[in-house]
Structure 1
Amino acid sequence: MAPTGPETPRVLVTRKMMPDAEERISKVFRATLNPDDRPMDLDEVLEKAAAHDAILLTSFDKLGPEFIPALPPSIRIIATHSVGYDHLSIPQAKAKGIAVTNTPGVLTDATADIALLLILGAARGASWGDRMVRENRWGATTLISPMGCDVSGKRLGILGMGRIGQAVARRARGFGMAIHYHSRNPVAVEDAQGAIYHAHFEEMLPSCDFLSVNCASTPETRGMVNAQAIALLPDGAIIVNSARGDILDDDALIKALISGKLAAAGLDVFKGEPAIDPRYRTLENVFLLPHIGSATPGTRSAMAHKCIDNLEQFFRGERPADLLT
């Protein structure tokens, strides 16, 4: 039976979660679920928030910068079902005294797997190969066409050597890749696994046959992979992004793909998604995925339970394990 006492916190859940997580949150909180998984706009979320103490939302909720300032006083904590929190203003939340938590750690392997899929898919032409077969365009095979790019033994640059970046490096080692990385600070030797640290992003780029974007979206990283950065990559390099779309400059990336400066790109995330730049759909040398880095049942369940853990800790008067504010 769901809790009904007035002392039990009320939690608004904006999207449908895995069944085990919905069952749990309904047992420990007075939870308002979204069984139809219908996206809610800002006005609806704010209207519903007035009757709740907490919100469990996702990075897919497009609520905008006006969201947190407009929240009613009843909201004490926001738990985001994501590692990234660029869809929320942490300074605004701090100013209103609202706690914010995220879900680090539990989606590391799933997202790193997608990064490797992007590398392999972009390099070996998974998109155009699939279309050739589906559209019955598979003609006579020759020794010179169609062809992709080698992955094994190549140089991989990782932008952002956090948990996911390190997991990408471990996987890339299996392909004999030489690993380079740039982060704000070098990681411990045992975590770097022999990867070469570059204190300056620009200094790493000439050593990157592949560039994997694995950093958070922050004011410092947005637009970081721009025309100037791409120009420093070797001709025929490949860029993959499994982090956040706004780290890449779409115009610069598309121009480099058309000109041949870049051989290919693999993208799981996009600026303004799902309303992506339509030019990407016209390019044969781009491997596109619909932001599925964490999209496995086990990972999405673990993320939801991490949200619930943080909410329970907060309402017990404890510091949530994944507090951002």
Structure 2
Amino acid sequence: MKPKIYITRKLPDIVVTRLTEVCEVKMWDKEEEPVPREILEKEIQDVDGLYCLLTESIDKPLLNRGTRLKVVSNMAVGYNNIDVAAATEKGILVTNTPGVLTETTADLTFALLMATARRLVEASDYLRAGDWKTWSPMQLTGQDIYGATLGIFGLGRIGEALAKRARGFDMKILYHNRSRKLEAEEQLDIQYADKERLLRESDFICVLMPFTHETKNYIGAAELSLMKQTAVLVNTARGGIVDEEALYHALKNREIWGAGIDVFEEEPVSTEHPLLSLPNVVALPHIGSASKNTRLKMSLLAAENLLQGLQGETPKNIVN
């Protein structure tokens, strides 16, 4: 008898077909709307595997309902939406999708850095509003990127990929990580720096660390006060790493120059969020990995992780 699985969002046909070859598949059929909690609570009771997104909270009460559950496959690199400790206690495998989105997310991070530094969204809105009447010497001037200092918090795969892009702009690169990476320092010509030095010396700071209890509000009022007034903060990791209220005040008071944000503490973010009212913020709807090829690779990898676990193998991308 085929194992039963539940998919929490509509997936491309090629992914569903692959899963159907091995499993009895049931899927929430809406692409732009998360599965309601009450439906997920009902469906998880009768499945061996769960294929989910970051939009679902796979907490202990939900896992306790999954009496047959063997595998939770998360279509994301991060897995802070899953109570991994509770899953481990119940013998449930948890998997993620690292690697395949590295280059795409690094592309978006650097694009967001550039768009913020050169005020691209603000300039486009200025033009479309009919405000462009003449050329003037200091009109919509931004910050130089070439030759500037880039600070990276979190030198994982994406952090290293970002450093490679920054080298093409002849940037001086600092990084801060839980542990030093001597090989990466030599290969990428980057320097390890403590947290304070990175904040003080960087013209651009990119947040690429995982979200954990230790990194919650890792960038708060104290950290923002150390940054240059001309500095730009870019966050493409997780929203909770940056204290959004502190960031709003720092930007509003021009304590730092600008911010590029792809992630928020609560998603989807409200259009009334204070950060969205500021002209020196470029805000995106969590599209770090959003290229067609990468999202397809992620969805297929999550499917393979799920199948490996259900077939008694140890998935390559197991997190517990």
Structure 2 residue aligned with 1:101: 95
Equivalent pair of 1:127/1:286 in contact (CA under 8 Å): no
**Matching of residues 53-64 of structure 1 within 5 Å:** 53-61=48-56, 63=57
Which stretch shifts more, 168-177 or 38-47? Answer: 38-47
Structure 2 residue aligned with 1:313: 308
Once the two structures are TM-superposed, the CA of residue 165 in structure 1 deviates from its matched residue by 0.4
- Out of 199, 207, 220, the position equivalent to 1:226 is 220
Whole-Å separation in 1 of the counterparts to 2:109 and 2:247: 18
Once the two structures are TM-superposed, the CA of residue 272 in structure 1 deviates from its matched residue by 0.3
Structure 2 residue aligned with 1:291: 286
- Out of 248, 254, 264, the position equivalent to 2:258 is 264
- Out of 63, 67, 81, the position equivalent to 2:75 is 81
What does the per-residue CA deviation read over 1:296-321, in whole Å, with 9 as the maximum and x for residues that have no partner? 11111111111122122212211111
Equivalent pair of 1:226/1:249 in contact (CA under 8 Å): yes
**Matching of residues 1-325 of structure 1 within 5 Å:** 6=1, 8-37=2-31, 38-61=33-56, 63=57, 65-190=59-184, 193-198=188-193, 200-276=194-270, 278-325=273-320
Once the two structures are TM-superposed, the CA of residue 64 in structure 1 deviates from its matched residue by 6.3
What does the per-residue CA deviation read over 1:274-310, in whole Å, with 9 as the maximum and x for residues that have no partner? 1346112210000111100111111111111111221
Q: Where do 5+ consecutive residues of structure 2 fail to align? A: none
Equivalent pair of 2:60/2:87 in contact (CA under 8 Å): no
Calculate the aligned-residue CA RMSD, in Å: 1.5
Once the two structures are TM-superposed, the CA of residue 261 in structure 1 deviates from its matched residue by 1.2
Once the two structures are TM-superposed, the CA of residue 31 in structure 1 deviates from its matched residue by 1.2
Whole-Å separation in 2 of the counterparts to 1:247 and 1:72: 31
2:257 alignment partner, SS class: strand
- Where has structure 1 moved over 6 Å in runs of 4 or more? none
Look up the equivalent residue of 1:27 and give its one-letter code. E
Look up the equivalent residue of 1:87 and give its one-letter code. N
Look up the equivalent residue of 1:206 and give its one-letter code. R
Once the two structures are TM-superposed, the CA of residue 259 in structure 1 deviates from its matched residue by 1.0
2:164 alignment partner, SS class: helix
Once the two structures are TM-superposed, the CA of residue 18 in structure 1 deviates from its matched residue by 2.4
2:21 alignment partner, SS class: helix
Whole-Å separation in 2 of the counterparts to 1:184 and 1:190: 14
Look up the equivalent residue of 1:156 and give its one-letter code. L
Whole-Å separation in 1 of the counterparts to 2:170 and 2:39: 51
Whole-Å separation in 2 of the counterparts to 1:65 and 1:136: 50
Look up the equivalent residue of 1:312 and give its one-letter code. L
Whole-Å separation in 2 of the counterparts to 1:32 and 1:69: 18
Give the TM-score, by structure 1 length. 0.93
Look up the equivalent residue of 1:287 and give its one-letter code. V
Structure 2 residue aligned with 1:3: none
- Rate the CA distance shift 1:255–1:21 in 2: closer, same or farther, 3 A: same
Once the two structures are TM-superposed, the CA of residue 34 in structure 1 deviates from its matched residue by 2.7
Once the two structures are TM-superposed, the CA of residue 99 in structure 1 deviates from its matched residue by 0.9
Equivalent pair of 2:70/2:309 in contact (CA under 8 Å): no
What does the per-residue CA deviation read over 1:140-189, in whole Å, with 9 as the maximum and x for residues that have no partner? 22001221111110000000000000011111111111100000001242
Whole-Å separation in 2 of the counterparts to 1:67 and 1:166: 37
Q: Where do 5+ consecutive residues of structure 1 fail to align? A: 1-5
1:218 alignment partner, SS class: coil
Corresponding residue pairs, total? 317
1:50 alignment partner, SS class: helix
